[in-house]
A and B are shown apart, each in its own frame.
Chain A
């Protein structure tokens, strides 16, 4: 926008003439501090090398392209130690620490449409109320199934987690649970 930039310089002059704070440099294609990615990271509580993760990612923010949401692939009968990571992938920034600092006014709430996923053991904030950035997810034993896991980040700006809140994040992950029954080797017919 050549014309814009020209006029912008004119305006800047006017702003200075007006005698108040001239605006700072602009980064026109940037949305500051935006969270683009919410990632669930699930570590098998018995086999630390077994890590399952899935992320919901929306690089272009609200609108534009819809968020892409991974399917979580869990193993039945496994208990996972879960954590949540928040990132701005446009700027390659990890924002998880910022939300941890605001633990007292936030809470992660997990809901599932199947009884085969149980989230418990939410970590606490400084007032010993649930925070839930760290949690335990148990995929109970049974056959293969599918379902959803909805993760909501509630924002309580009164700091009281029994009061009203509004929603900072609301992401529903599709989940596939693989059955934990022994692999049955089909009997070979002997003629």
Chain B
């Protein structure tokens, strides 16, 4: 858990030196901040950070046994305080950043803090340079600036910037992240250190996270059960809030977005400060309040308006905590509330099999008379998600303890279009209330703190226990889909990371999890609920190795296992799913789904080029999927039925990303992601695996003009191939006989349901600038155009692909206005 900010901790350096030119070398010595022992092996590098997104390394060196370093500086002209900086980093310590302007001409004495709570942040930044780090599996970080460029979009859309991440859409308002072909209950989202628990099993249930609140998002791809436990079979998304400001006084920021396509307006404001203003003497206490609202009306495709596709979202968050130093306890309290009401396109709400056939045959808008409106009608969802958490980081002699506990309540109401009489308008078809309490304790042992003494000198060890208690209670609703349940999960894990040499690191870990679940399973025929208790357990492991092959070229390999207990809907759901007009039946005998994966990565990073390649093969046993079982006859007509089943499966693929600085003002970025999924028992492709996609974008930095700085324009193209690997349609003779359609119609319908839409290419454009006002703050302004050519297209991972096109061209205007003392 990242707890406090990236403090710049410069002890004993007070002199400010201004020089016109610096040549020669800078000498100094690096010490541990408490023991004052010199630290060997610290990487010292000088960076030109004029291009913030793509800093250039000018020179590097490493400290010797006495912590000494001597770094050469070649003719740096007029060092402005922000253009050059010196960074000190070593595994196990917080990275230290010093603007060159603050460095005295005399010898430097530098103190590095042990990394305790800052560990992961440091990890991400330094691992690429040191060739070490726990992350021998692929991961990608979206930093604040990148997130700011996508504010106002849904949380899922923001993350789809990451190579290998796509989104599963249910119209313009619902998007779920898909990591390497896996989504929903196969992904864990850690929100400020606590597992985010909504009703994530539903494909049309988007994560309940305010897209404005995230300060940093990290996507860990591939199975991560050792660190994150059950369900992290496809990957983990770590969402972290912005750290507290170190400065005193009030400060904050206002962000305003406006979207042309659905006339969405979004406003977010945050304000933070200390407690001195309230008369407290404590220097370290901080608070922050954040609120955002988003409201969107109906979206528009190039040809028509999508009826009932708007949404309204209101989110608030409050933080209290302190800014701790390395010897004191750090804590943070976080409360947030997420509320949304969103419309579901009416034409995608299907009454029965014949309606489905008509909707697919129509292949176009449900009613051409739809006009733009902000009104939301049924079918719709109303969701609230409250969460409160408190976390502590406590330094001790044997390591740093991190303790956290949190409670969440997710209330989801789904109103369907089956309305007559007063009752159905006010009572939702489904109301599910999910309460989750999580507690985690983790001990991180830095080198010299481990139980084995000095012979494991370069080892970082972690030991942890985590528990999740969960309870689901059906609210007053007209239907039932999943049973009430309670569950308790406990996991114990240990990981070790050993730096074998300056250029190689090995890491390994193991974990054991146990879950017990009691569900009140309702038998529709006898109308009696029976308590069914099941327990699930799994041991998981991981082993990784990373090697620096030569300067700026790294290779890594990893073997990991992960697991997932069958989710509540897979076990017990029993009802009609209106989005697809399918009667879904759970299978209470399902076993734990398990995966073993192997991954190889290569990385080249020089001052101008960064290339990352990763390939993976993820082999599943007991992969859970749906298969057809027959027809269920109801008063509403016939529905094809599916049941959950298990088989062996494999998901494999490759990702490539390239970032190249072409010259001082132009850079190029390219990403390619390929995923394949096979049901090995059936010997056919898995359904809904993302199609191959690639993107290229060119970014041009423009010179400052008229008081505008950091000006840029960017043009990008994204190409998506048709998904040709699709499974055979779900046809059984029994279905044909019982269906209300003719055999030919039934076959045709099932084929259409499996089919994938055509490939497409989208052009996107963006331009932005910063305007200085009041002497120190910058007003950031950007305009982007999504789908510049107003292309008609449908996406295979859109659940509305049978019925309507994706939205067309969208102009997005974003403004960001900081205020106060610290911006």
A residues contacting B by CB (< 8 A) are: 1, 3-4, 7-8, 11, 14-15, 18, 20, 23-24, 26-29, 31-36, 38, 56, 58-67, 95, 98-99, 101-102, 105-106, 152, 155, 157-158, 160, 163-164, 166-172
Contact = CB atoms under 8 A, between A and B. Distances in A.
B668 interface: no
A57 B522 CA distance: 20
Contact of A63 (B384, B423, B583): B583
A4 B487 CA distance: 10
B588 interface: no
Contacts of B635: 35-36, 38, 56, 58, 67, 169-171
A166 B359 CA distance: 9
Interface stretch (B62-70, B309-317, B468-476, B685-693): B468-476
Interface in B635-659: 635-639
Given A26-B476, A28-B529, A170-B740, A20 B520 contact: no
B529 A67 contact: no
A102 B369 CA distance: 21
A29 B529 contact: yes
Contact of B471 (A11, A66, A98): A11
A31 B378 CA distance: 19
A58 B524 CA distance: 11
Given A155-B351, A167-B637, A4 B471 contact: yes
Nearest to A58: B635
Interface in B575-629: 575-576, 583, 585
A66 B520 CA distance: 23
B421 A23 contact: no
Contacts of A95: 421
Nearest to B428: A32
Contacts of B388: 18
A106 B358 CA distance: 18
Contact of A98 (B422, B474, B531): B422
A31 B386 contact: no
Interface in B513-529: 518, 520, 522-525, 527-529
Interface string B416-436: 011111111001000001010
Q: Counting chain B CB atoms within 10 Å of each CB, which of A32, A34, A98 scores highest?
A: A32
B386 A18 contact: yes
Contacts of B435: 11, 14-15
Q: Which of B378, B475, B486, B639 has the most CB of A within 10 A?
A: B486
B75 interface: no
B141 to A, nearest CB: 32
Contact of B486 (A4, A64, A169): A4
A168 B378 CA distance: 14
A3 B583 CA distance: 31
B471 A65 contact: no
Contact of A18 (B409, B477, B480, B636): B409
A62 B583 contact: yes
Contacts of A105: 420
A65 B524 contact: yes
Contacts of B535: none
A59 B480 CA distance: 14
A29 B367 CA distance: 38
A31 B740 CA distance: 26
Contacts of A14: 407, 409, 435
Interface residues of B, number: 67
Nearest to B585: A63
B315 to A, nearest CB: 14
B402 interface: no
28 contacts: A4-B471, A4-B520, A15-B409, A15-B435, A24-B475, A26-B475, A28-B484, A31-B478, A31-B479, A33-B421, A33-B478, A60-B525, A62-B639, A63-B524, A63-B575, A63-B632, A63-B634, A65-B524, A66-B633, A67-B633, A67-B634, A155-B418, A167-B354, A167-B355, A169-B637, A170-B354, A170-B637, A172-B740
Contacts of B484: 1, 4, 28
A60 B362 CA distance: 33
Contacts of A63: 524, 574-576, 583, 585, 632, 634
B760 interface: no
Contact of A62 (B407, B486, B522, B636): B636
A114 B377 CA distance: 40
Contacts of A99: 420-421
Contacts of B321: none
B366 interface: yes
B352 interface: yes
Given A4-B471, A61-B479, A169 B636 contact: yes
Interface of B: 346-347, 349-352, 354-355, 358, 362, 366-367, 369, 377-378, 384, 386, 388, 407, 409, 411, 417-424, 427, 433, 435, 471, 473-480, 484, 486, 518, 520, 522-525, 527-529, 531, 574-576, 583, 585, 632-639, 740
Contact of B525 (A24, A29, A64, A102): A64
A166 B421 CA distance: 17
A7 B488 CA distance: 12
A28 to B, nearest CB: 6
In order of increasing CB-CB distance, the 3 nearest A-B pairs are A64-B524, A98-B421, A170-B637
A29 B484 CA distance: 11
A83 B366 CA distance: 30
B407 to A, nearest CB: 6
B772 to A, nearest CB: 43
A170 B369 contact: no
A79 to B, nearest CB: 27
Nearest to A150: B740
Nearest to A15: B409
Nearest to B470: A7
Contacts of B423: 32-33, 98
Given A36-B635, A62-B583, A64-B525, 11 more contacts: A11-B435, A14-B409, A23-B473, A31-B477, A60-B524, A62-B636, A66-B633, A155-B418, A166-B349, A170-B635, A170-B740
A8 B531 CA distance: 15
A1 B531 contact: yes
B420 to A, nearest CB: 4
Nearest to B631: A66
A26 B475 CA distance: 7
Contacts of B527: 29, 59-60
A24 B528 CA distance: 22
A105 B639 CA distance: 24
B486 A3 contact: yes
A65 to B, nearest CB: 5
A8 B435 CA distance: 10
Given A4-B484, A4-B486, A65-B525, A102 B634 contact: no
B421 A157 contact: no
A158 B525 CA distance: 36
Q: In this complex, which of A24, A32, A166 has the most chain B Cβ atoms within 10 angstroms of its Cβ?
A: A166
Given A7-B471, A18-B409, A63-B524, A58 B634 contact: yes
B476 A62 contact: no
Contacts of A3: 486, 518
Contacts of B349: 166
B757 to A, nearest CB: 21
Contacts of B637: 152, 167, 169-171
Contacts of B575: 62-63
A23 B575 CA distance: 23
Given A61-B524, A166-B417, A20 B384 contact: yes
B434 to A, nearest CB: 10
A56 to B, nearest CB: 6
B478 A34 contact: yes
